[in-house]
Amino acid sequence: MDYGTYRGILTLVILVLFIVIVVWAYSKRSKNRFSDAANAIFEDEKTHNDTISNEEKGSEK
């Protein structure tokens, strides 16, 4: 086997790996997990705002 054959096999392996990753990323099983991860920043903001409002209530006393 020469260098060109190794490059061809490596290219094929990388292509298959890319296709597997794309199928995994767009599968319905992963949708909920990715949706939760995407919205996690907004939940953190809500918690932060609740904390700030609780601190303001405490300082008004």
Check residue 51 and give its pLDDT: 62
- Distance, CA of 29 to CA of 11 (rounded, Å): 28
Cβ-based neighbours of 34, under 8 Å, separated by 6 or more: 25
pTM (two decimals) = 0.55
Check residue 36 and give its pLDDT: 85
pLDDT higher than threshold 90 for residue 60: no
pLDDT, tens digit (0-9, with 9 covering 90-100), for 3-52: 999 999 999 999 999 999 999 988 888 888 888 888 888 876 666 666 66
Check residue 47 and give its pLDDT: 66
Check residue 16 and give its pLDDT: 98
